[in-house]
Structure 1
Amino acid sequence: MIQAFGLTSNSRKDLPPAVDDVSFEARAGRVTALLGATGAGKTSALRLMLELQQGRGITYFRGRPLHRIAHPSREVGVLMGDVPGHPARTVRGHLRMLCAAAGVPVRRADEVLEVVGLVSLRDERLGTLSRGMDRRLGLACALLADPHTLVLDDPADGLSSRESHWLHGMLRAHAAQGGTVLFTTSEPKEAARVADRVVTLEQGRLAADQDAPEFARTRLRPRVAVRSPHAVRLAALLAKEARAAHRSVEVVREGGNRLSVYGSTCADVGEAAFRHGILVHQLADEMGDMGPGAGFLPGEEAQGAGRLPGEAAQNVRADVSETEAGEPPGAGGGVEAGGEAQGDGLTHGTPGGQTDRPTHGSPGAQPDRARHVTSGADNDRATRGALAGRNDRPRHPMKAASGDQASPHTRQEARSGSAGGSGRDASGPVKTAKPPAPLPPLPPPISVRSAPSPLRPLRYELRRATGIATGFLTAAAVLVTSALTAVLLARVGHTPQARLLAAWPRELPLPPAALGAGLLGALAFGDEFRHPALAADRGTVPRRLGLLTAKLVVAAATALVLALLSVGCDAEVLYLVYGRELTEVPGDWLALSVSWFGLVIGCAWAGVLAAGVFRSTTAGLAAVVAVPVVCVPLVQKALEGASVRTAAGLPVRLREVFLLQWPFGGERYLAGAVRVIVQPVGGALTLSLTALLCAYLFTSLRSRVR
């Protein structure tokens, strides 16, 4: 369950906080709606709960705050806005990348894709998905690690009725298996229809915390739903009689032959229709959004088939009667003078007095249902029993796929047939409702959790780097630029061979390979902020040291490969254009190689750390360029002047101090590394990396303390 205490966002200059001292709880096995108009603070409340926004208060997920949970994605599945993935990444690649981050098998991606119906779109790019498909992918990401809790911010926004119906069914299925579901919405009717409990926010404060039936009864406007082929005439008569009786009655045309009458009752509307001989096809009390589109989707039959999730918290029946064309009012299935339809179930009146198919399963029926919410003690007891029967079931989602998801307690009969076994009215026997359709299947549970492994962030980083073409295109551009630069430098002349092979003009601060490695390193963290796939369960900044280590390792390997390829391409192009003279191996190739690899890897690491600290790819690349432009002149100025002492013989003295025998001539390698560091560029790069690493660790520790 979720327990939120005193959620308060930071003040915004002269404006009040978006969320002010909000406390509520969402219980396991139930769907909770966080309701409020636009600007009421719903999204801010969720961000405070998930520690994505600074403020006061604390939220417990099954007794622990989010920052105390070792693997947040396994406890909380989050859907905030659009799927935060790179538009060029494929659907399956995005899920497999998240599988690596969550430590779940990669086959889990295919399982959730099958459940949400995206198997046929698994190779599509994220940027090409429609709104409905994006919502499905977002739910797949939330369900990927088999979390106990789902937190969703306005998940049905912009969806069609069919897609919303499917999404709400998935949420109900998760709650029915013992999970906790919390979602936000700005539609009171949706909250009453879908949720078991509704928490209402107004201007950042808690306004109400109610069960769904109580919310519908006290905070939604009741109405009478009427469907008649003479809707215009009936609307005019109802308005005329209301004016004559000095009553406040509002009649709204809903489209077609449907009316919504506010401020009246079924009895008054029925009597008016009877007196004036107006044929009525539907007459029912409604509470909340129980009109068009609130019930079934087109093609679904019978009350209860495809029942929406919110109906589990309400005892619903429909009072509908229909008269045949040309039949006098009051005969067969007409509306009685008392204002109540004959019978208590779904019936069709026929001339022969036989009962036809239920109204909403008939070919001419509208896809919507008229529903009447009752709140008696018997109904509440029946509802609690149904919920208890569903929530106590073991979590085994595979049963849902075989059609056994709904327990017998949820298959409630229509009230018209449960009281006396069977009932009859003037138009024939009353048919009981069919059992509700089974809830949508969920992905199978993850029976065995993988142990914490240092390779998990490394797998994530590898899939992140190779899942899109940006890195490959950048490397190709670097190789082409480096080769062309080397050819031009050789043509101009006056360039040492070492710089010629590295394509490093004296006029440029860095060679193309170093700039490319810095750009790839900056992209490693810059994409985490531009497309924060991990932000939902790791905070706004994914500052895990394991993730940083993985990014540094992958960046170093990429830079090393890029350095080798660039030198090889430059040498090959120089050989093809000018011959063997410019491609001979220098005598001091070892020191030059150490310097070259150190420069490229150092630039890649500087890009990673700077992008992580400043949260931007541009800032990461700027930090790389700033090393030779700003830091090198400062180091050179600090080292100017005569040197009284030198560090000659440093490797030998290190061996004497640590009593170590360097294998394979290790003194040479250490001496080469020291020579690289004492150079102006090497020293400036070392200082920059040290400063960036300290800044990163400081910001990481500060975020953990908060």
Structure 2
Amino acid sequence: MIQAFGLTSNPRKELPPAVDDVSFEARAGRVTALLGAPGAGKTTALRLMLELQHGRGLTYFRGRPLHRIAHPSREVGVLLGDVPGHPARTVRGHLRMLCAAAGVPVGRADEVLESLGLVSLRDERLGTLSRGMDRRLGLACALVPDPHTLVFDDPAAALSAGEARGLHGALRTHAAQGGTVLFSTADPKEAARTADHVVTLERGRVVADQEAADFSRTRLRSRVAVRSPHAVRLGALLVKEARTARRSVEVVCEGGNRLAVYGSTCADIGEAAFRHGILVHQLADEIGDMGPGADAVPAARQQQAAQRRQTLSETQKSQEPSKTHITDAPEPQAARKSQEAQEHQEHQEHQESPDAAGGDRARISRAAPATHPSPGLPSTANPPLPSPDDSVTADAAPRRPLGALVLNTAKARAAASTLPPPISVRSAPSPLRPLRYEVRRATGVRTGFVTGAVVLVVSAVTAVVLARIGHTPHPRLLAAWPRELPLPPAALGAGLLGALAFGDEFRHPALAADRGTVPRRMGLLSAKLVCSAAVALLLAALTVGCNVEVLRLVFGQELAELPADLPALSAGWLGLVVGCAWSGVLAAGVFRSTTAGLAAVVAVPVVVVPLVQKVWEGPSVRTAAGFPMRVREVLLTQWPFGGERYVAEVLRLVAQPVGGAMTLSLTALLCAYLLTTLRSRVR
């Protein structure tokens, strides 16, 4: 279950906080709706609960705050807005990547796709999905780790009626299996139709915390929509008969041939029309809005409604001396008996209607209080609500009210039985399987492969042009590194791939449920550094190999010979490419931007190297000449298998201006990343 206590957002300059002291509960086994007009604070409340926004208050998910849960994605499935994911990634690839991140078997992706009816879309790109398919994919992403709690922000926004019913049916199925479901909405009808409990927000405060039946009875009004070519005459007759029977009925004309009748039923209106020989084209139950924001009707609509009421009253005065609005209140006892008889008749009609009826009948059956026994259900009129002790048990699903059980149709039970069983997740040393996740993330889109191909082509062309011009040292010729460029194409490509490793995370996040857009964990950073280093080494080797083969093909064997000091040159070349890749990763992680990561890579030879050279070669009393050899004498005398040679070579590279600048940049970026990580954890 979810328990929110005193959620309050930070004040906004002179404006009051968007959410002010919001407290409520969402019990397990039930669907809870957070209702409010646009700007009421629904999204802010959800972000405060998920610790995605700074503020005050506490939120417990089965007795623990989110920051104390080792595996947040396995406890809470979240969808705020659109599905976070790269638009070029396939549906199946995206879910398999999330499986790797959550540490669940990759077969879980196919199970979720099959249960939600998305098997035919598994090879579609995320950027080509419709709005309805995108929402269903968001539900699939939330269900991949098999969480206990689902938190959705306006899941049915911009969906058709059928798509919305399917989405809410899936949420209902999850709640029926014992999970907790919380979603926000601005439509009172949707809340009354799909939720078991409704929490109403208005101007950042809780104004109502009710069961769905109580909400429908107190904040919504059932009405009958009538369409007839003799609407005015029918309305006058209904008012006259209501006054005769001393019943409270309100008739509102909503158009030339449309009426909205409050306080009556389809049966009564149909019988009245039949007795007086009035043709009726439409007779349907509806629910009118009296929830939050109901008074915020545009002035044009208010004026139009006033004109319609005035026209209807004038017409009624010319025909019969009756009124549209019945103001004569019946006696209390008679009114009570009449209301009970009316509720009994409506309830019997809803029982006789099939379960697969339209959405309007579902609305009425939910709005009506369940005061009479139904076939196949217990005869208790008021089923016991869960006690406070029951809410302490995390996995126990409390019993729902009788009115909510009526809506559990055979179709919903069949859908619940077809869902895959919950899987047991093995404990992992980290909430993420970072290396598997990073490999699937990098290979799931074509960006890396296209970048590598472009680097190889540009390097080969550059090597041929430099060999044709001449005056280029042989090592630079093999690396395709002109003196006019600060970095070779391979180093720039490795830096770009490193910057994309974190830049894509923030542009198209896939781990949004884990306390922020991208979780700042050292395991994830280590995986990105390892993968970027492997890609950089492969790119460096392929670049030199392709350049050698192209030079041999164009100019012969003379230019394709390898230099004598190959080990030292190879170490420097590989260190340069890997350093550029790591600079891109760290800079993109610190500044949350691919552009910033690539700028940090270019800044090393353009800005940092000249500064290091100026400091190192400037006037000084003492110099550090011979530093690598002295370090070797002190530390590297007892290395086995001649390892001191390699370490000495590394020290020699670090002592060079480019190596020193790269080391300095990497150290600064790593310290900045650690600082931002600590700041996010302290907050």
| Alpha carbons of structure 1 residues 514 and 593: separation in structure 2 relative to 1, 3 Å | same
Equivalent AA in structure 2 for residue 595 of structure 1 = G
Residue equivalent to 1:207: 207
Alignment of 1:92-171 (within 5 A): 92-171=92-171
Bigger RCO of structures 1 and 2 (CA < 8 A, at least 6 apart): 2
What root-mean-square deviation, in Å, do the aligned CA atoms of Structure 1 and Structure 2 show? 3.9
Structure 2 distance, partners of 1:198, 1:345, is: 22
| Alpha carbons of structure 1 residues 280 and 361: separation in structure 2 relative to 1, 3 Å | farther
Q: Deviations over 1:215-255 (max 9, x none)?
A: 111111332x255xx72314543158759999994435699
Residue equivalent to 2:252: 251
Residue equivalent to 1:233: 230
Q: Deviations over 1:339-390 (max 9, x none)?
A: 9799777789xxxxxxxx966699xx977438354436667955746999xx
Residue equivalent to 1:419: none
Equivalent AA in structure 2 for residue 251 of structure 1 = V
Give yes or no for contact 1:77–1:150 (8 Å, CA) kept in 2.
Answer: yes
Is 1:369 aligned with 2:361?
yes
Bigger shift: residues 518-527 or 538-547: 538-547
Is 1:490 aligned with 2:464?
no
Bigger shift: residues 144-153 or 638-647: 638-647
Residue equivalent to 2:626: 648
Structure 1 distance, partners of 2:251, 2:135, is: 37
SS at match of 1:251: strand
Residue equivalent to 1:440: 415
Is 1:549 aligned with 2:520?
no
Residue equivalent to 1:21: 21
Give yes or no for contact 2:29–2:177 (8 Å, CA) kept in 1.
Answer: yes
Give yes or no for contact 1:52–1:536 (8 Å, CA) kept in 2.
Answer: no
Structure 1 distance, partners of 2:566, 2:409, is: 83
Q: Deviations over 1:384-407 (max 9, x none)?
A: 46999xx9999899xxxxxxxx99
Give yes or no for contact 1:267–1:339 (8 Å, CA) kept in 2.
Answer: no
Equivalent AA in structure 2 for residue 105 of structure 1 = P
Could you tell me how far 1:11 is from its partner in structure 2? Answer: 2.7
Residue equivalent to 2:551: 574
Give yes or no for contact 1:172–1:439 (8 Å, CA) kept in 2.
Answer: no
Which of 550, 562, 566 lines up with 1:589 in the alignment?
566
| Alpha carbons of structure 1 residues 645 and 341: separation in structure 2 relative to 1, 3 Å | closer
| Alpha carbons of structure 1 residues 539 and 394: separation in structure 2 relative to 1, 3 Å | closer
Structure 1 distance, partners of 2:22, 2:406, is: 40
Equivalent AA in structure 2 for residue 237 of structure 1 = L
| Alpha carbons of structure 1 residues 90 and 150: separation in structure 2 relative to 1, 3 Å | same
Give yes or no for contact 2:7–2:57 (8 Å, CA) kept in 1.
Answer: yes
Structure 1: gaps (5+ residues)? 291-335, 349-356, 398-405, 415-432
Which of 549, 573, 589 lines up with 1:612 in the alignment?
589
Equivalent AA in structure 1 for residue 252 of structure 2 = V
Structure 2 distance, partners of 1:413, 1:557, is: 59
Bigger shift: residues 563-572 or 206-215: 206-215
SS at match of 2:361: coil
TM-score between the two structures when normalised by the length of structure 1: 0.79
Structure 2 distance, partners of 1:652, 1:232, is: 104
Structure 2: gaps (5+ residues)? 291-337, 374-378
Alignment of 1:149-548 (within 5 A): 149-223=149-223, 225-226=224-225, 231-238=228-235, 249-251=250-252, 259-262=259-262, 269=269, 273=273, 276-278=276-278, 287=287, 368-369=360-361, 371=364, 373-375=367-369, 381-382=380-381, 384=383, 437-438=412-413, 440-441=415-416, 442-452=419-429, 456-548=433-525
Residue equivalent to 1:417: none
Give yes or no for contact 1:4–1:22 (8 Å, CA) kept in 2.
Answer: yes
Bigger shift: residues 535-544 or 665-674: 535-544
SS at match of 1:438: helix
| Alpha carbons of structure 1 residues 448 and 626: separation in structure 2 relative to 1, 3 Å | closer
| Alpha carbons of structure 1 residues 411 and 38: separation in structure 2 relative to 1, 3 Å | closer
Give yes or no for contact 1:270–1:339 (8 Å, CA) kept in 2.
Answer: no
Percent identity for Structure 1 against Structure 2:
70
Q: Deviations over 1:20-51 (max 9, x none)?
A: 22121211111110111111111111111111
Could you tell me how far 1:58 is from its partner in structure 2? Answer: 2.2
Structure 1 distance, partners of 2:57, 2:76, is: 18
| Alpha carbons of structure 1 residues 259 and 682: separation in structure 2 relative to 1, 3 Å | same
Could you tell me how far 1:14 is from its partner in structure 2? Answer: 3.2
| Alpha carbons of structure 1 residues 395 and 279: separation in structure 2 relative to 1, 3 Å | farther
| Alpha carbons of structure 1 residues 641 and 451: separation in structure 2 relative to 1, 3 Å | closer
Structure 1 distance, partners of 2:406, 2:60, is: 39
Could you tell me how far 1:514 is from its partner in structure 2? Answer: 0.3
Structure 1 distance, partners of 2:530, 2:575, is: 14
SS at match of 2:433: helix
Could you tell me how far 1:111 is from its partner in structure 2? Answer: 0.5
Structure 2 distance, partners of 1:434, 1:208, is: 29
Bigger shift: residues 99-108 or 438-447: 438-447
Is 1:676 aligned with 2:653?
yes
TM-score between the two structures when normalised by the length of structure 2: 0.81
Q: Deviations over 1:523-575 (max 9, x none)?
A: 00001100011022231332111000000000000000000011111111111
Structure 1 distance, partners of 2:36, 2:580, is: 49
Residue equivalent to 2:681: 704
SS at match of 2:145: coil
Alignment of 1:625-636 (within 5 A): 625-636=602-613
Equivalent AA in structure 1 for residue 513 of structure 2 = A
Residue equivalent to 2:329: none
Could you tell me how far 1:197 is from its partner in structure 2? Answer: 1.0
Structure 2 distance, partners of 1:386, 1:173, is: 20
Equivalent AA in structure 2 for residue 150 of structure 1 = L
Equivalent AA in structure 2 for residue 587 of structure 1 = A
Which of the two has greater helix per residue?
2
Bigger shift: residues 24-33 or 49-58: 49-58
Residue equivalent to 1:564: 541
| Alpha carbons of structure 1 residues 360 and 653: separation in structure 2 relative to 1, 3 Å | closer
Residue equivalent to 1:79: 79
Which of 646, 656, 672 lines up with 1:695 in the alignment?
672
Structure 2 distance, partners of 1:253, 1:174, is: 40
Aligned residues: 618
Equivalent AA in structure 1 for residue 658 of structure 2 = V
| Alpha carbons of structure 1 residues 410 and 187: separation in structure 2 relative to 1, 3 Å | closer
Could you tell me how far 1:505 is from its partner in structure 2? Answer: 1.0
| Alpha carbons of structure 1 residues 61 and 597: separation in structure 2 relative to 1, 3 Å | same
| Alpha carbons of structure 1 residues 280 and 541: separation in structure 2 relative to 1, 3 Å | same
SS at match of 2:413: coil
Equivalent AA in structure 2 for residue 143 of structure 1 = L
SS at match of 1:25: strand
Equivalent AA in structure 1 for residue 229 of structure 2 = V
Could you tell me how far 1:266 is from its partner in structure 2? Answer: 7.2
Equivalent AA in structure 2 for residue 369 of structure 1 = R
Could you tell me how far 1:591 is from its partner in structure 2? Answer: 1.1
Structure 1 distance, partners of 2:570, 2:431, is: 30
Residue equivalent to 1:67: 67
Give yes or no for contact 2:113–2:122 (8 Å, CA) kept in 1.
Answer: yes
Structure 2 distance, partners of 1:393, 1:528, is: 37
Equivalent AA in structure 1 for residue 110 of structure 2 = D
